[in-house]
Chains A and B, each alone.
Chain A
Amino acid sequence: MSVKGKIIMLFTCVLFSLSCEKDITIDLQDIKSKIVVEGHIEPGLPPYIILSHTFPYFTYADVETLENLFVHNAVITIFDGSVHHTLQEYCSDSLPDSLAHFGALYLGVDIADLSDHNFCIYSIKADTINPANILVGELGKTYNLSVTVDGVTYTATTTLTYPVPLDAISTVVHPTNDSLFHLRGTLSDPVGAGGYYRVFTQRIGKDEYLLPIFSSIFDDHLIDGQTIDVLFRRGKRMGFTDIYTGYYSYGDTVVVKFCTMDKAHYEFWETALVEIDNTGNPIAAATQIATNMKGGALGIWGAYGAIYDTVIVN
């Protein structure tokens, strides 16, 4: 830096009291790892559970770190009101194609590269004798989850709420670039309880799987019983740069997954997304992430009342 530059910097620092910043080391207390549950079920589809554990905050973490978080040999059952269904653990070497996108999303890798990574997930066992016994989500049903790890049992309950179809999906063009668009969903919110929503989209041929949009969650406490427009801004995958984050391009074919959910499920994602939004904000208050898991585990066992639409952006 030139002398002039140094003088300017010094003068600026003194005159404007610009902050000084330095790296510090924080000795965290002796923290025990906790079990983390990510489990969902939706209409007509079998449930899945990704069982992992937490890792220390200041640990260097990459995809390899995540691969080593899975909890194996857990006993997981789901009670649908009449039958206890026991789930089976599938790992990369035996992973059905129908579950591959969960691994890609979790690890932040392409599906094609998943075979190079270790990923494990629990889902239903194939019942070749009586396929009718296979558990899939049914609207209005309540599902009780039980997860036992090393003799400790964690439980949760979720209800598969009825979906609310969108009245219409239209586009909103970027003010200065007419090849970029947001989507706009028109929603007629039913009067009364149950108005907890989450939105995912997938660009066919561009995204390998559904991704939550930005600000993907909202409820109807302001709009109960009203018809409103909701802006869909495209989300991005963890670990991928994306210069047009938030926008869909002209000609994109977009699958929109519009979900309802129960209150506990909503509160988990509401608090989790606030915390994600606050990442890096030095003055934001710490957010404790809600969970519906009982017994000391973190995460969510939640049902999505999902309904799918496909639109072409033009």
Chain B
Amino acid sequence: MVKQLLFLICFTLISLASWSQTEFVLSGTVTNDSTKEPIAGATVIIKELQKAVSTDNNGLFNFTLPEGNYTIVIRHIGMSEITKAVELNKNVNLQLKTNMETIVTETVEITDSKIDGNVEKTDPGTLVLTKAEVKSIPSMLGQTDVLAALQLYPGVQSAAQGISGMYVRGGGPDQNLILLDGVPIYNPAHLFGFYSIFNTNVVEKVTLIKGAMPANYGGRLSSVMDITTNDGNDSTIHASGGTGLISADLTIDGPLFKNKATFSISGRRTYIDVLGKPIIQLIDKDKEWGYYFQDFNGKLVFHLSDKDKFSYSGYYGEDAFKILNKPAGFGLGISWGNATSSLTWQHIFSDKLVLSTQAYYTGYRSKIDISQNTYEVKLYSGIYDWCGKSDLKYYPSDRHTIKIGGSYTYHTFTPTNIAANTDALTTIDLDQRIKQYSHDVAFYLSEEYTMNNRLRFRLGLRYSYFQHVGPFDKYLKNEFGIITDTIHYERGEHVADYNHLEPRFSARLLLNSSSSIKMAYVQNYQYIHMVSYATVSMPTDIWIPSSEKVKPQVSTQYSIGYFKDSKNKVYETSIEMYYKTMANQIEFKNGYSPEDDLLDNPENNFVFGDGKSYGIELFIKKKTGKTTGWIGYALTSTSRQFPDINSGEEYYAKYDRRHDLSLVAVHKFNENWSLSGVFVYATGNATTMPESRYAIGGSIINEYGKRNNYRLVDYHRLDFSVTYNPKKNKNRNYKTFWSFGIYNVYNRNNPYFIYFDDSNYFNEGIFDTKAKQVSLFPIMPAVRWEYFF
């Protein structure tokens, strides 16, 4: 690792030495002329040199070029193209403004940054998704969703129907760093995973990195999903919203102080509970059933000067579900939610130097409350972070982009806390809490270096340090599993620590103006872990820190890809291959139940093992024309090997998926009408089956086969939607937009899970077991009406 660090430093110094040629700086900012917001991810091209860069989150770009006359072209989907001639005989700074192309773009239009960047950009396995693309895809019940859209790309998959956790290149759902305005989100799921918590109307841009994670990101093994929200319109107050079958939402944004400050607030709530209550009462007045989710986003942005931007961003969301069966005396309540709050200060020292500093809080908690007459059990779980971080971007020339930064996070974990009482006996203290605390520190250095017109590298190194600290009670056990001693650690006292260097490397070799080869090597460490008790991802999954027994997860990924644009960039294609190994993966031990955590350290109930994933991903996209869309296909294999599971033999991960195909098409008939369709096909999930039974001690017991040795049936589904975008009525100061869709057109019964029902005769001593497949979503209509002021 020391050699890697020295190599990076030497490489950076050597490459910096090459600036000494006599050149001029051509820099600038690209902004949206309507909203005055900077445009991130726009492609800036020097036509004569066939050089291109993307604007950063502040809309900034930077070239260092020899003296001469150049044509600069700015492209961004949904925006008018800008072409500008520049005579470069001194340093030049441009303020470039562009406008929306169509009215639709005012509210939705953004697109995949692979446009223009497919061949040119350095990193393989990276894509940028925009609000327009999300909204053009048919959705369940008309509720467009960022994560559901991402799952239509190769290498990204869901566990089952709905999103139900996102699995990227064989990694688990906890291995994705999901950032909302730079703040981690620990559970992005509403409605048990069928929608994400991200309100599409406030999303500005989504960047997904599934391959070459740059060094400024860390703490997760598999991917980064970086979501930025709208700053708010700087000119006038806008309102937009929509109503669908299950929820309604409203977003208002505009200037707070003209040209000085903007605001954006948004809220969303389901009304299933409100509409459903009378129906449930009609069917069975003794039963109550209720569910809702709601979320709120808020953002304030202050432009203190041309060089200083200060922003506050917050999110609060919650889900609540309850069932009450009065005659049976049974009640079940499940609730969970995230809350974030962040302050960010960006300071532009110069066109070449930008500092971003952020402080935030993020928290996730879940609670299950089960009662049967006077017997009641409550399970609590959560994770809460306080963090400060700072990132410095330096553009010494168009050949170099240097990023350097660091972060500190204080984690508080609440793994499963259980509280129970029954009849006259209190079996467990209701106030009992088991918490764990840790410090999480990281520093990084990253350098993107353009060696020549063909070759570009990104080198990065991340140093991470994680310390588990008190207060903590460590239980020592003998060979019988009996607690023989307890070691108490005082607040802040060191319990265990880890530190690692994480090298990152990616390169792009431009073969010609329309094709390139990219490759990457990344090593990541992850110090926090999510463990699932159930066979499906649930809000009750618990987060725990690395500790003395729980070693940090580590992955190494190699990837290589060929990228090609054709027919004057109407089509873009790519083929990528990857191989990834993962160590120190976690599962609950055999026979675990949550009460095992009581007065015990959670890590005593885990087993540890390794994972492996490899595959090939194909992607073909038609970007322009009346008909657009893409085909994504992934052929992958994902396995796990734990000494204490499956007799130590390797087995398929539950989300191993041999084939994963997505077809997306959007046809625009005219300015008002368009039709879109999605078809997805995926190999069935791996599952464990009971193979035989035996009688013992007056009971019948199931004997299971090898872990995940069977497959659920394949998943496939077709969706359609039609959008009607009527011309604006001149007599109205608002515009409307309609979307009609059909989800699961041919009513495929895709498996959510299977279970075995032998309840018919169980009480008569007869076993006649039937396998039952549960499918959640039949053919369903979708309607959504949106409005914009």
Contacts and interface: CB of A to CB of B under 8 A. Distances in A.
A and B associate: yes
Interface in A259-300: 263, 267, 269-272, 274-276, 279-290, 298-300
B143 to A, nearest CB: 11
B101 interface: no
A57 B691 contact: yes
A22 B749 contact: yes
Contact of A31 (B534, B705, B759, B765): B705
A271 B710 contact: no
A127 to B, nearest CB: 29
Most buried by A among B276, B279, B478, B695: B695
Given A62-B766, A106-B698, A239-B764, A24 B771 contact: yes
A22 B748 CA distance: 12
Contact of A238 (B481, B482, B713, B765): B765
Contact of A237 (B423, B698, B752): B698
A175 interface: yes
Contacts of A12: 276, 279, 283
Contacts of B245: 14-15
Interface in B684-702: 688-702
B771 A15 contact: no
A69 interface: yes
Nearest to A20: B775
A192 B535 contact: no
Contacts of A19: 752, 774-776
B771 A221 contact: no
A34 B692 contact: yes
A58 B769 contact: yes
Contacts of B248: none
A56 B691 contact: yes
B534 A283 contact: yes
B253 to A, nearest CB: 31
Most buried by A among B279, B482, B690, B771: B482
A52 B694 contact: yes
Interface residues of B, number: 84
Interface string A156-198: 0000000000000000111100000010100000001111000
Given A26-B710, A62-B766, A272-B696, A13 B483 contact: no
Given A21-B774, A54-B703, A172 B425 contact: yes
B756 interface: yes
B597 to A, nearest CB: 11
Contacts of B548: none
A36 B696 contact: yes
Given A22-B773, A221-B483, A282 B755 contact: yes
A222 B598 contact: yes
Contacts of B591: 267, 270-271, 274-275, 287-288, 290
A59 B282 CA distance: 40
A54 B704 contact: no
Interface in B410-450: 422-425, 427
A116 interface: no
Nearest to B424: A172
A221 B691 contact: no
Contacts of A231: 422-423, 425, 427
Contact of A221 (B600, B700, B709): B600
Contacts, number: 235
Contacts of B423: 172, 174-175, 182, 231
Contacts of B465: none
Nearest to A27: B710
B778 A13 contact: yes
Contacts of A50: 696
B753 interface: yes
A23 B756 CA distance: 10
B703 A25 contact: no
B477 A221 contact: yes
A224 interface: yes
B588 interface: yes
Nearest to A36: B694
A40 to B, nearest CB: 9
Given A15-B245, A19-B774, A20-B778, A193 B765 contact: no
Contact of B692 (A57, A106, A195, A299): A57
Interface string B244-259: 0110000000000000
Given A12-B279, A172-B423, A272-B699, A26 B689 contact: yes
A231 B693 CA distance: 30
Contacts of B422: 231
Interface string B230-264: 00000000000000011000000000000000000
Given A24-B754, A239-B765, A55 B693 contact: yes
B753 A62 contact: no
B538 interface: yes
B695 A52 contact: yes
Given A20-B749, A23-B772, A280-B755, A15 B692 contact: no
A130 interface: no
B282 A8 contact: yes
A53 interface: yes
Interface of B: 141, 194, 245-246, 272, 275-276, 279, 282-283, 373-374, 422-425, 427, 477-478, 480-483, 533-536, 538, 588, 590-591, 593, 598-600, 688-705, 707, 709-710, 713, 749, 752-759, 763-778, 780-781
Given A283-B534, A283-B536, 12 more contacts: A17-B141, A24-B771, A36-B694, A50-B696, A52-B695, A66-B695, A106-B695, A193-B480, A241-B764, A272-B701, A280-B759, A286-B704
24 contacts: A13-B778, A16-B276, A22-B775, A23-B771, A26-B754, A31-B692, A56-B693, A60-B766, A60-B768, A61-B700, A61-B766, A62-B766, A211-B698, A222-B600, A237-B698, A271-B590, A282-B753, A282-B754, A288-B590, A288-B591, A298-B694, A298-B703, A299-B696, A300-B696
